[in-house]
Amino acid sequence: MIFQVGATLLDACVLSVLRTNDTYGYELTQMLRDTLEVSESTLYPVLRRLQKEDCLSTYDQPWQGRNRRYYTITDKGRRAVEYYRTAWGEYKTRVDRLIVGGESVERQNI
């Protein structure tokens, strides 16, 4: 992918994936890689920040003699996902007008 993924878009993607299922970091990275170019070294600081902002919480589960840290979305994180979904729809529509065409492009305060 040639487009850079900013922090806000990455937050939105992480929270959106966790909206449906709890998961651990490596699995989350693999899920996101289907759509974005993201590495574990990029993802873990995002997870820690989202946890610090109370959008995520964690719990450990034993797996093959060690613990896996699972991430789960909080109520604050669910509210953030809904905000991001609305904002993404508006943003996508505006960018589509410019790149894809169709409707005439109107000057708007962005």
Assign residue 20 the CATH number of its domain. 1.10.10.10
pLDDT digits (tens, 9 = 90+) for 74-109: 999 999 999 999 999 999 999 999 999 865 545 554
Residue 37 falls within a domain, yes or no? yes
Output phi, psi for 72, to 5 deg. -135, 145
- How many helices and strands (H and E) does the chain possess? 4, 3
pLDDT in the model for residue 106: 53
Compute the Cα dihedral for 86, 90, 84, 29 and give only its sign.
positive
For residues 84 and 3, the model is more confident at 84
Host domain of residue 83: 7-96
Residue 110 falls within a domain, yes or no? no
Output the six-digit token pair for 22.
């709890």
Task: Work out the average pLDDT over 34-61.
Answer: 93
Residue 105 falls within a domain, yes or no? no
pLDDT in the model for residue 75: 98
Q: What is the pTM of this model?
A: 0.83
In total, how many domains does the chain have? 1
